[in-house]
Structure 1
Amino acid sequence: MDDRIIASLETAVGATPDDAVLRVHLAELLLAAGRREEAVRHAATALAADPTSGPARAVLADALDEGAPAPQAPAEDAAGTGEGFDWSRAEQEVGDLAPPMYADGAQDPQGRAFDVEHGDVRLSDVGGLEKVKERLEASFLAPLRNPELRRLYGKSLRGGLLLYGPPGCGKTFLAKAVAGELGAAFLHVALADVLDMYVGSSERNVAELFRVARESGPCVLFLDELDALGQKRSLTRNSGMRTTVNQLLTELDGIGRDNEGVYVLAATNHPWDVDPALRRPGRLDRTLLVLPPDRPAREAILRTHLRGRPIEGIDLPALAKRTDGLSGADLAHLCESAAEVALMDSVRSGTPRMIGMPDFAAALEEVRPSIEPWLETARNVALFANNDGQYDELARYLRKRGRR
């Protein structure tokens, strides 16, 4: 009789699966019939539908209690008191199965606080920018690749290279490509990685940074946002920032240490805010202007950001021509905006479609060059702060764009 009632209730529950009361009643009968696993399943389903159901909780507790092993007397702990659990013994028993919950840094023998990358980006992966590549090759890469010629011509490897230009134009990507060309490790450091609120900690971070670079050599050490990390000390009221710049100068000079195999690159949007001492010979004494991408570079960037998207009829040369003055970041945003136009149109119509030139036309009406504020600042510098000629290349570029 019980089996027939259970079968009828199972049919009823199947017809009305949301009836929690009926499901709990079925679970009670299943538990009474010794079918514990089925009772647990139905009681749990009822409890999920109605978390406040007392009968469901009772059935679940009874079912689980029946399936639990008989309680045993607690084992004595390490002290033999019989009170509590011996966590030390348990940790030893599972030590090979589970990693420790906390670490004290002993697992890293070098105690490194900075992550060193090993990428495979090359200059050939950088679209366009042929003049920039030539300058990189002549001022930095060729002497490193040809030690015999370097010795013949007495070319020194001291000093580093400062990349400057408007934001979003690929300075970091170029630095990674240089590391790839050299087959070197890449250590990318920004302001937040170095500065610390406690006195003396920022200086220790700078020293640790160069220590890691030396131990990882050959290594390209890339100092991003140098205008923030190496700001002019005459403009800095914070004594902590001044001492941080002093420490950076000491490490660049390699005082008491050997910087052999450490190639220092730095990037900034505002080289005029960098402390002049950082740009003296033997430090960051070579500069390279990284401008917004030219037409071949824009075409390559657009092709990269359209890879994997559903496109049709995209005229890349025409798009590259229409996007003069956009940075690499602007071009990425343009592709995102065009994809968004097509996506929203597909949502409205209910039919997915490809991304086409009309979507880019709509996106171009919204996307504006992000480098305009930088160009205005650069114009003032080129006009009124270029007495020593260090911004002649920038001045030529601004004249070409009609900004005199």
Structure 2
Amino acid sequence: MSDALIDSLTAAVAARPDDVALRLHLAELLAGAGRAGEAIGHAAQVLARDPGNEAARRVMAAALPGEAPAAPSRPGVDWDALESEFEGVVPPRFAPAGAGDDAFEVERAAVTLADVGGMDEVKQRLELAFLAPLRNPQLRTLFGKSLRGGLLLYGPPGCGKTFLARAVAGEIGAAFISLSIVDVLQMWIGSSERNLHDLFESARSHAPCVLFLDEIDALGHKRSQLSSSAMRTLVNQLLTELDGVGGGNEGVFVLAATNAPWDIDAALRRPGRLDRTVLVLPPDATARAAILEYHLRDRPVAGIDLRALAAATEHFSGADLAHVCETAAEFALRDAIATGEVRMISQQDMTAAVRDVRPSTDAWFATARSVVMFGNASGEYDDLAAYLRKRKLL
């Protein structure tokens, strides 16, 4: 049998893996050429798609070493025996129990709250809600303080909500699991809900654990505004998991982040779920200086006045400040390319970059202003209203 013909058919099967007839023909040719292992692999793939295929069973029987097994009394394949016999040649049909336990990456964060510049009020809320009770088990027992619960971080984008969640886990040496909607959603009915359940089960098995739900407004949008029944079911599943039905959430602290808290389903924010809300604002002057220093520390700089730069970047988010440093580096790189002489990043570069970069938080506060003016009857955004008044935006 020509190896060239087998190679051509192998390429054709790779291009059309679901073509049962083509794959069966290849298996027959491989068996005739004495390449039993490859023939068995392709015959097994045919039987996986068409369990009653007699021709595939004959190829499998002919390729098996020793005596050919007697034909079964009824259509079927002893998959357990075949998987044991040809482990490594034919992949298993089903993953063994427990194989999906690590479907979600469990981290051990290296940063702590000391690495977070500013945000003193946010840190105090975290200390009272989770950190202090965890460090003081006797006082926790005395006051009946549970370690379960959730905290919703909201504010303009780029202000460090994700970094803060990671720092909480690092502060206590807890496991850290981060989840976004792309990790959950699947097209098959019920698969998204199962993914969400598996996520919470993973967090429970690694307690104490900080479970971070990024962009929670996408995962837990207001059900009254959803036209998809699948998405409404997913929100219901999230509510069930937060309640810990079927498995306690003790030791699982849920941190959620959003730029649009007004789009979150109200049921998610009732007591026992995401019952505490903290506004994460753009960094203050001290934090801005620390962020700028962090992003410049591995770059060639000279004569940088961090205090002056911090004063000139009021209302800049952490992401904006990182962009300022990147822009200043581009200015110095451009000059080096033009002149052929390498120079340091200077204060002049940084000042020019500050003029070139506009704060990205302004658009968010414009939207937030409308929410505070017309949608704050319950007072849940009073802290945001106070900040807007302080900036004379309200």
Q: For this structure pair, what is the TM-score category when the shorter chain's length is used for normalisation?
A: 0.7 to 0.9
Contact 2:369 / 2:393 at 8 angstroms: preserved in 1? yes
| TM-score normalized with structure 1 length | 0.75
1:157 is aligned, of 147, 160, 163, to: 147
Residue pairs, 1:61-210, within 5 angstroms: 83-87=33-37, 106=95, 109-112=98-101, 113-210=103-200
1:374-400 Cα shifts (integer Å, max 9, x gaps): 101111111221111111111111111
Contact 1:334 / 1:360 at 8 angstroms: preserved in 2? yes
Q: What root-mean-square deviation, in Å, do the aligned CA atoms of Structure 1 and Structure 2 show?
A: 2.5
1:377 paired residue number: 367
Larger Rg, first or second structure (1 or 2): 1
Range with greater deviation from structure 2 (191-200 or 367-376): 191-200
Range with greater deviation from structure 2 (130-139 or 345-354): 130-139
1:301 paired residue number: 291
Contact 2:106 / 2:176 at 8 angstroms: preserved in 1? yes
2:82 paired residue number: none
1:60 paired residue number: none
**What is the identity, as a one-letter code, of the residue corresponding to 2:212?**
F
1:333 is aligned, of 304, 308, 323, to: 323
Contact 2:148 / 2:251 at 8 angstroms: preserved in 1? no
Q: Relative to structure 1, is the Cα distance of residues 349 and 206 closer, same or farther in structure 2, using a 3 angstrom cutoff?
A: same
**Residue 356 of structure 1 pairs with residue 306 of structure 2:** no
In the alignment, the residues of structure 1 paired with residue 309 and residue 383 of structure 2 have an alpha-carbon distance, to the nearest angstrom, of 27
| TM-score normalized with structure 2 length | 0.76
In the alignment, the residues of structure 2 paired with residue 224 and residue 393 of structure 1 have an alpha-carbon distance, to the nearest angstrom, of 22
In the alignment, the residues of structure 2 paired with residue 383 and residue 397 of structure 1 have an alpha-carbon distance, to the nearest angstrom, of 13
Q: CA deviation at 1:86?
A: 4.8
SS of residue paired to 2:107: coil
Contact 2:130 / 2:253 at 8 angstroms: preserved in 1? no
User: Percent same amino acid among aligned pairs?
Assistant: 62
Contact 1:105 / 1:111 at 8 angstroms: preserved in 2? no
**Residue 240 of structure 1 pairs with residue 190 of structure 2:** no
2:243 is aligned, of 232, 239, 253, to: 253
**Residue 316 of structure 1 pairs with residue 306 of structure 2:** yes
Range with greater deviation from structure 2 (360-369 or 350-359): 360-369
Q: CA deviation at 1:195?
A: 1.3
Q: CA deviation at 1:267?
A: 0.6
In the alignment, the residues of structure 2 paired with residue 104 and residue 177 of structure 1 have an alpha-carbon distance, to the nearest angstrom, of 41
Range with greater deviation from structure 2 (351-360 or 155-164): 155-164
List runs of 5+ in structure 2 lacking aligned partners.
1-29, 42-87
List runs of 5+ in structure 1 lacking aligned partners.
1-79, 92-98
Q: CA deviation at 1:101?
A: 9.9
